[in-house]
């Protein structure tokens, strides 16, 4: 499996993802804002990052920029957000440096499938 960093300011989503990932054998760290995620990322070793865009202190774009300009810049990053819809999906991936974009309305199984996909591509 893998060690995943999840950054989102919605506690319900953090709880739901942590339950799902635990059942599938993943380990993870949870961050409630972008700055907390940056701090955890710098101290830890992760196989992938799942992040919201709209978070307090530092947003998801700032988190992605920090990761992509650092030493561990090739890590897969999934953006999980309700801010961007439809054709804007392609733009956020190219512009932000994210590996994949998912809507928060996607099913938990769809999120898990996307995570497995980016982890397989990275190995």
Q: What are phi and psi of 5, to 5 degrees?
A: -100, 125
In sequence order, which residues have a C-beta less than 8 Å from that of residue 1 and are 6 or more positions away? 24, 25, 26, 27
Q: Quick one: pLDDT at residue 91? A: 52
Over the stretch 62-118, which tens digit does the pLDDT of each residue have? 999 999 998 888 899 999 877 655 544 445 555 678 888 888 777 778 888 999 999
Confidence bin at 24 (pLDDT 50/70/90)? very high
Q: How open is the CA angle 105-110-116, to the nearest 5 degrees?
A: 140
Domain 3-122 has CATH 3.40.50.2300: yes
Q: Mean pLDDT of all residues in the chain? A: 86
Q: Quick one: pLDDT at residue 43? A: 94
Q: Quick one: pLDDT at residue 103? A: 80
- HSE (CB half, 13 Å, CA atoms) of 58? 17
């Amino acid at each position: 499996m893998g060690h995943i960093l999840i950054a989102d300011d919605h506690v319900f989503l953090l709880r739901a993802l942590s339950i799902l990932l635990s059942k599938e054998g993943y380990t993870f760290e949870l961050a409630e804002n972008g700055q907390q995620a940056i701090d955890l990322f710098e101290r830890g070793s992760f196989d992938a990052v799942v992040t919201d865009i709209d978070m307090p202190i530092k947003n998801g774009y700032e988190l992605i920029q920090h990761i992509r300009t650092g030493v561990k810049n090739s890590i897969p990053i999934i953006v999980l957000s309700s801010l961007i819809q439809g054709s804007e999906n392609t733009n956020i991936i190219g512009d932000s440096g994210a590996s994949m974009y998912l809507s928060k309305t996607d099913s938990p199984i769809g999120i898990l499938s996307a995570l497995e996909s980016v982890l397989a591509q990275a190995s």
